[in-house]
Structures are given as C-alpha cells and as structure tokens.
C-alpha cells in the first residue's frame, strides 16, 4: 500500500545514520523515529516555489534521501510509512486538525501514523516539524510524556461535535492559548479513521496549491535538535528551548538562503534561492 517494496531501505537508513536492529520492535521504532526527526529536514519550499509537492516514492527518495532538502508532513509520513512497511511493522495512517490556538475549526491537513506493537498503540508524528523525538503511547487514561527534552500530553475525548478522538497538547509558551487551565495548548486533534495514500493526495493538493493554505505562499522551515528548535516563519527566525523565552530575529530577504543552509541544513539551487528571495521581497 505504501510502496515499501520500492524503497531503498539501506539508503534511507544510511541517511538517518541508523545502524541498529531492523526487527519490528518498540526499541526499533523508538530509535528509527528519533533518527528520522533529527535527520530528515522539514520544509514547504516546493509548495512556495512551484506549487507542486509530489508524493510518489521516487520523488520523495530523490528529494529527502541523501539530499540537503526535506518536506512537510505528507512527505515525511509517506516516506516513513514506506520504511515501516518494509520493516514489517503493523500500522495505519491518520489525518489531524492543527489547533495551535486557532479560534476556528481547521481542515484535516496533518498526516501521522499509528503503530500497533504487542497490543499497544503508538502515535508516530514525524512530520510536524517540531515533532516529538519519540513515539507517544496512546493509553485509555491518557498520560503526560517526555522524550527527554520536550513534554507532551495526549488525551482521548471529543475532538469535533459528536466525534471522539485524541488531542496532543504541548506546554503553552508566553502569549499562547492555555486551553486546559494548567498551562497546556492543543497542537492538533485526530480520530482513528484510517487514511490511505489517496487521502494523503487529496489533502496534500489543498496544502500545496490552495490560496487558503499558508503553506502555498509562505515559507515555513523547522529543524529539531535534542535541546532546541529552529523555526523560520516567512522571514522570522525563531529559536526555542524548553522553559526559555524564544529568541526572535527578523531577516532580510537576501539573508534567507544562507540561513536555510547554515541553520537548517537546507541547500537550494542558485535558481531556487534567487526565486525565493524575489518572493520574500
């Protein structure tokens, strides 16, 4: 279903720097998840520069494996799904609604995977950008969890009128909406309705091409480190560390390609760099 048989697994794992066990265990899933988040870049530049983000495995391989480029959630989840399928994991895909303090209901435009291991379910959210470094267990009573640096809360409950699902929370920074009364903000919600590549294609088309999607015209680039997160939102560079006030710097358009390379490890061709500077001016 996810074209795992067409994936060059050795090349993918080499790109991650992963040399561990390949059996479909929780230990493998945790290590693979962490390696993917830390080593596969997150960016929406193809949508901004050319309004086209293909999800076929060949395009994903050429762009995201052995290359200084990355992708957004549909690309990450599709590539990760191919790897999990090839490794023999049992899983299904889901779509979520981004919240992040939004005052209105947003469409289901965030892709994730749910993995079943020995009767336990794990949320793999490798394509959020500011992604958890490890899978998060989905338990009936919910729980707070940490990947060693960042902290999350996953709760089951009503996510849209009459629909039960899950909400992933993160600590609310200064100025962000505290939705629980004790310092937590919802980052996204999702149900367990299984999704398939054709569903990814539909949502991806909206994200990459619609004027109602900020990803179609506004650059977003993120890079997670074990101790910090870098975010480029249009021309605003933000560096966040747990428990600290974010550092914010406004960039000139001509600075952006160098910052992409130096801070995010995303290298554009000269033509793409010039086009991006023009769009940001």
Catalytic residue ranges: 73, 110, 125
Q: How many residues does the chain have?
A: 281
Q: Torsions phi, psi of 130, nearest 5?
A: -85, 60
The closest of 93, 110, 88, 80 to 15, measured between CA atoms, is 80
Q: What share of the chain is helix, strand, coil (3-state, %, to 5)?
A: 35, 30, 40
Distance CA(123)–CA(121), nearest Å, equals: 7
Question: Going by C-beta distance under 8 Å and a sequence separation of 6 or more, which residues neighbour residue 46?
Answer: 52, 53, 63, 71, 208
CB 142 within 8 A of CB 156: yes
Cα–Cα distances in angstroms (integers) from residue 95 to residues 113, 124, 192, in the given order: 9, 12, 8
The closest of 201, 55, 71, 73 to 125, measured between CA atoms, is 73
Strands 184-190 and 220-224: unpaired
Where would I find the H helices in the chain? 9-16, 26-39, 45-50, 57-64, 73-87, 197-209, 256-264, 270-280
């Amino acid at each position: 279903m996810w074209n795992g048989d067409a994936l060059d697994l050795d090349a993918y794992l080499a790109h991650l720097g992963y040399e561990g066990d390949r059996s479909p265990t929780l230990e493998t899933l945790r290590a693979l998840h962490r390696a993917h988040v830390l080593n596969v870049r997150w960016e929406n530049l193809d949508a901004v520069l050319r309004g086209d983000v293909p999800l076929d495995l060949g395009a994903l391989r050429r762009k995201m494996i052995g290359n200084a480029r990355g992708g957004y959630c549909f690309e990450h989840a599709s590539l990760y799904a191919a790897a999990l399928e090839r490794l023999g994991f049992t899983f299904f895909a889901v779509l979520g609604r981004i919240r992040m303090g939004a005052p209105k209901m947003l469409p289901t435009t965030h892709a994730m995977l749910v993995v079943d291991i020995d009767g336990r379910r794990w949320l793999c959210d490798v394509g959020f950008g500011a992604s958890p470094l490890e899978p998060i267990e989905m338990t009936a009573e919910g729980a707070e969890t940490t990947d060693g640096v960042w902290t999350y809360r996953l709760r089951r409950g009503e996510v849209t009128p009459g629909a039960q699902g899950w909400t992933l929370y993160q600590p609310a920074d200064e100025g962000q909406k505290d939705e629980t009364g004790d310092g937590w903000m919802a980052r996204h919600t999702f149900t367990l309705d299984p999704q398939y590549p054709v569903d990814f294609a539909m949502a991806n088309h909206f994200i990459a091409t619609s004027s109602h999607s900020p990803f179609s015209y506004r650059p977003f680039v993120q890079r997670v480190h074990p101790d910090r997160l870098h975010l480029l939102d249009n021309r605003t560079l933000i560096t966040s560390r747990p428990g600290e006030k974010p550092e914010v710097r406004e960039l000139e358009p001509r600075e952006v390609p160098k910052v992409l390379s130096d801070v995010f490890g995303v290298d554009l061709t000269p033509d793409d760099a010039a086009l991006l500077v023009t769009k940001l001016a």
